[in-house]
Structure 1
Amino acid sequence: MVTVTGPRPSATPDAEVWSIAATVCDPEIPVLTIEDLGVLRDAHVSESGQVLVTITPTYSGCPAMDAIRDDVTAALHGGGYDDVVVRLVLAPAWTTDWLSDGGKAKLAEYGIAPPTGTAAAGPVRIGLSVKCPQCSSLNTRELTRFGSTSCKALYVCNDCREPFDYFKVH
């Protein structure tokens, strides 16, 4: 069994199932695919022909995971794969460090400030400024720690006065 852990040319069945699963969009942020988010962790075809896909939630109890599982299954069925198992794994825990650079750019274009910094543990955590996705100002402030989803905080720009979501570092 060959495990594909990132996008590959579509020359093998493993690469094909990865490519199909990678097209599934996040139901809460539809401009991002589960590959952009780093939620898609593994996709391969077993020796028996069963497709096995592994996904990791952005946080434990994320309500979008059922929809993502169903969407991955439907996409693979549409691609001609009948025997599909989508597994949810919690370890290692998802981190915003898994967001692709393309995914961060898509967030900003969509009006959601991408995470600043990395989630790597260190002795002192320092909050970084959050850039407004509308005017690029760093003169912003947090209104509430929880925005439209648990992964985001609600901010406002003090310059353009526009509210916006910020995808929190975790």
Structure 2
Amino acid sequence: MSSFTVDEIYQWLEEVKDPEIPVLSLVDLGVITSIAIAGETVKIEMTPTFVGCPALDLMQREVTETLRAKGIHEVAITVSFRQPWSSDKISEKGKLALKKFGLAPPPSAEIFQDIDLLAHVACPRCNGTNTELRNTFGPTLCRSIHYCHTCKEAFEQFKPIH
């Protein structure tokens, strides 16, 4: 019988940060899609934000190392695209972390109805909405570049993916 719980494992995996956004855990990003315990083996299912995510191997390695440091020696990670990742999987805590990091969080699928929402996102620095989309392609596939006319600063938005 295992001496750890699924809740503890989720808590421990809060330590594993996204390699591109180090203030965001894989749990808050919604990349860890399920955890199961089978005897002494912990089974983790991960769904990366993009099919060709270049950080996938690093994330898997860090999940395994974090759990081994907690005394879990049998870790089985499955990468699954059964249900595609969506930016709606980002937790509220994660959205706050994105904003504090200087990235505008993605809008919810419930309100994302219009491309205009992408062009005029709230600035994470001053909360101004007099912004414009400057480039749909930021430094990574999941970010776009915007400009705020209120504080005169460029900023990135984590793209909504639904």
TM-score (norm 1): 0.85
Q: What's the CA shift for 1:117?
A: 3.2
Structure 2 portions without partners, runs of 5+: none
Deviations 1:87-119 (A, max 9, x none): 111120000111111111111111000012317
Structure 1 portions without partners, runs of 5+: 1-10
**Would the alpha carbon gap of residues 119 and 150 (structure 1) be closer, same or farther in structure 2, given more than 3 Å must change?**
farther
Match in the other structure for 1:88: 79
Q: Does 1:127 align with 2:119?
A: no
Where do residues 48-67 of structure 1 align in structure 2 (5 Å cutoff)? 49-67=40-58
Whether contact under 8 Å (1:112, 1:164) holds in the other structure is yes
**Would the alpha carbon gap of residues 91 and 140 (structure 1) be closer, same or farther in structure 2, given more than 3 Å must change?**
same
**Would the alpha carbon gap of residues 168 and 119 (structure 1) be closer, same or farther in structure 2, given more than 3 Å must change?**
farther
Q: 1:102 aligns with which of 62, 82, 93?
A: 93
Whether contact under 8 Å (2:13, 2:25) holds in the other structure is no
CA RMSD of aligned residues (A): 1.9
Q: Percent identity?
A: 35
Match in the other structure for 1:151: 142
Distance 1:31 1:101 in 2: 13
**Would the alpha carbon gap of residues 59 and 159 (structure 1) be closer, same or farther in structure 2, given more than 3 Å must change?**
same
Distance 1:117 1:54 in 2: 24
Q: What's the CA shift for 1:141?
A: 0.8
Structure 1 runs of 4+ with >3 Å offset: none
Aligned length: 157
Q: Does 1:14 align with 2:43?
A: no
TM-score (norm 2): 0.89
Distance 1:160 1:18 in 2: 38
